[in-house]
Homo-oligomer: A and B are copies of this chain.
Amino acid sequence: MEDSAMTEDRADSGALTLGEVAERVGGRVVGDPDVRVGSIGPVDETDGDGLAFLGSRRYTQYVGESKAGAFLVADDLDEMLPEDANRVVVSEAYPAMRTLLQHFHPERPCRPGVHPTAVLGPGVELGVDVVVGPFAVLEESVSVGDRSRIGAHSVLGRGSVVGRDARLYPHVVLYEETVLGDRVTIHSGARLGTDGFGYTVVDGEHAKIPQVGRCVVGDDVEIGANSTLDRGSLGDTRIGSGSKLDNLVQIAHNVRVGARSLLAAMVGIAGSTRLGEGVFMGGQSGAINAIEIGDGAKVAVRSCVIGDLEAGGTYSGTPARPHWDTLKAWGLIDRLPELSRRVKRLERAVEGLENG
């Protein structure tokens, strides 16, 4: 068995002194720069030679009991640590944490090759150092770029294209002619290029409209587990480069998502709607069909967008409105019992006045 052809994972890596940590993350040491740390973890679960990460005010409550040997702390939280705690202070905590995670958990090397159980159709083209896992099926004329890894059981439909340095986890399905860019990551169970929900009534029955467009995904896109992205009906469905979709997201036919957008879990975008660049959609939010959401717009969790949204705004509620209007409406709904009582009192007062 080609174990290398199955999944990658992260191996433990070497310890660092706080001095070395500070150098890697562009921070400064407070305390002993020669203290060694062998891992990084949350402030409430780290001890021994672990470096406790303190990047958000919410976790400062755990600092008192922490048994960590040292801390990685954001500038503005530094005062929450005991004065004698050994630490590295940084201006931006999350990029620093990311750098250290990449050090302590490097990707395991992965032996290239096609697992002997994989099924490859005629005309399949594989770049150099491609990995194809057990039971993967690459249909006729599929193309996979250099160093890309196709997980176990994945099915790449006829004529689909995967760029370079992509990673498909086990159980991904690409319907025919789906196109993925470079450095794309697709998690287990995602289905790309599925048929859109398109019917027209013929003789009183719902008759299916053939869905003949493609699903085209740019570079550096990540798509979460069990998400579904329909192919276009006539034109294509497109996800712009650098965009990230969380788990269980639904993208209908002919949707366009611009570059660098973030769609949190369970977001649903209906047919032909267009999202600009750098759009953020919170968890369980959605948008109806055939509308436009401008560049940089932010849609709060659980909101439902039913009309065009201007660029740069923050929106919430169902129907989604400017966030401030939604908050005001929620506040007034909370005060409805009081408003109702005030009207009642007014009615009595007016009756009194009328009756003299």
Contact = CB atoms under 8 A, between A and B. Distances in A.
A197 B170 contact: no
A347 interface: yes
B353 A3 contact: no
Contacts of A328: 337
A137 interface: yes
Contacts of A301: 270, 286, 288, 304, 306
A155 interface: yes
A290 B189 contact: no
Contacts of A58: 290
Contact of A199 (B187, B235, B262): B262
Nearest to A97: B209
Contact of A200 (B95, B177, B290): B95
A74 to B, nearest CB: 12
Given A270-B283, A301-B270, A346-B350, A247 B264 contact: no
Nearest to A290: B58
B342 A339 contact: no
Contact of A234 (B10, B53, B139): B53
B225 A191 contact: yes
A44 B256 CA distance: 14
B134 A137 contact: yes
Interface in A253-296: 254, 260, 262, 264-266, 268, 270, 283-284, 286, 288, 290
Contact of A268 (B40, B92, B226, B283): B283
Contact of A250 (B157, B194, B222, B248): B248
Given A9-B177, A197-B224, 14 more contacts: A3-B121, A3-B122, A6-B121, A7-B139, A45-B235, A94-B209, A98-B208, A115-B119, A117-B119, A194-B224, A195-B224, A228-B248, A248-B250, A266-B266
21 contacts: A1-B120, A3-B121, A6-B121, A7-B175, A95-B207, A153-B155, A187-B195, A188-B191, A194-B225, A205-B260, A228-B247, A248-B268, A268-B283, A333-B333, A333-B336, A336-B336, A339-B339, A342-B343, A343-B346, A346-B346, A353-B354
